Amino acid sequence: MAGASSEEDTKEISDDDGDEEGQLKSRHIQEIKELRARIQALKKSVPKGDKKKKKDVTAQIAQLEQEIKERHESELDEYNKKCSTDHHPTSDGDGGHQLQQEEASMAAKVSSKSQRKKDKREKKRRDFEEKISREPVSNEPSAASIEREQLLTQLKLVGLQIKEINPDGHCMFAAVSDQLLQRDGIKVEVELLRSQCADYIKQHHMELMPFLLDLETGDTLSDDKLVKYLSDLRDTALWGGQLELRALSHIHQTQLHIYQADCPILTIGEEYKHTKPLYLVYHKHLYGLGEHYNSAVPITT
């Protein structure tokens, strides 16, 4: 998708609004994340070469995406109608024109307040990205510890170990950069990977449209928001995820193997089987402000 925040980030941002609209949008964001996970599981369930199963799953995914989009739009429409009924009583007679002016003024104030809230949420999100804690999650050390042990066990079976990547918002791109250096002996800077990724998504945005979603509404990104997303992807510490990994897989024509606790290895870029994969490790609980990617390198004796 477009780069993603943790559930804790979403909750803090939505709670900051303190209103029904913020809670509604927060729930929509969570439902979209859950749908993406379900879609990924459905795709993994298709046996290689089973065209009928692949066709059925594709149709099921399209239906799920359409259903959640329509339901979210309906819920937002109902909320907006409720707000209109609660705050905009009708009036007849000579006072009608004055009321319309008052309503227009009120709408402008509401719009300005909404923009300020949006700017505040955006600043909070950027602060999270730029200032990720370097300390392990203090309120759930057991989850982080268990996850790490599971990952170490998986990696040991294939002769790999974790190589720590700095948790600065660029971790996914830095992990890919490290893997390209390990495999090819070529240093590709994070800034270049971000630029390549933004260029690829811009050129192929029509085919990637189902994954370019506005996390606040569940709708496909508008042209303006797509431009902003690409700018943030290129120039800020916007987190990367599966969408960006797929783009990098195509750009460098390589497979990526993503190791996750309690999950099968996620393979991205299966069409590039002739290449040696890049190995990444995905952590859900390692740091307090969101997901994290590390690199995986051969065990040294």
Paired strand residues for 258: 266, 280
* Torsion sign, CA atoms 227, 233, 239, 240: positive
Per the CB < 8 A criterion, the answer to whether 234 and 198 are in contact is yes
Q: What is the pLDDT of residue 145?
A: 79
Confirm if 213 and 222 have CB atoms less than 8 A apart.
no
What are the tens digits of pLDDT across the range 137-171? 444 445 777 888 899 999 999 999 999 998 888 99
Domains and CATH numbers, the chain: 7-298 (3.90.70.80)
Q: What pLDDT, on the 0 to 100 scale, is given for residue 293?
A: 95
pLDDT of residue 19: 63
pLDDT of residue 232: 94
Give the residue from 242, 252, 298, 244 showing the smallest Cα distance to 272: 252
Structure confidence at residue 225 (pLDDT): 92
pLDDT at 272: 95
> Of the listed 170, 252, 257, 292, which one is catalytic?
292
Q: Which residue is catalytic, options 9, 171, 178, 257?
A: 171
Please confirm, yes or no, whether 214 is among the known catalytic residues. Answer: no
Phi, psi angles (nearest 5°) of residue 47: -65, 145
What pLDDT, on a 0 to 100 scale, did the predictor assign at position 136?
46
Report the pLDDT value the prediction gives residue 210, as an integer from 0 to 100.
Answer: 83
Three-state helix/strand/coil letters over 199-259: HHHHHCCCCCHHHCECCCCCCECCHHHHHHHHHHHHHCCCCCCHHHHHHHHHHHCCCEEEE
Q: Of residues 168, 205, 250, 263, which has the active-site annotation? A: 168
| Strand-strand pairing, 290-298 and 160-163 | antiparallel
| 283 carries an active-site annotation | no
pTM of the predicted protein model: 0.55
Ranges of the chain with pLDDT below 50: 1-18, 88-94, 132-141
C-alpha distance from residue 157 to each of 260, 266, 279 (Å): 14, 16, 14
Task: Please say if 250 is a catalytic residue.
Answer: no
| The dihedral sign for the CA sequence 29, 32, 38, 40 | negative
Identify which of 262, 267, 225, 246 has the alpha carbon closest to the alpha carbon of residue 172. Answer: 246
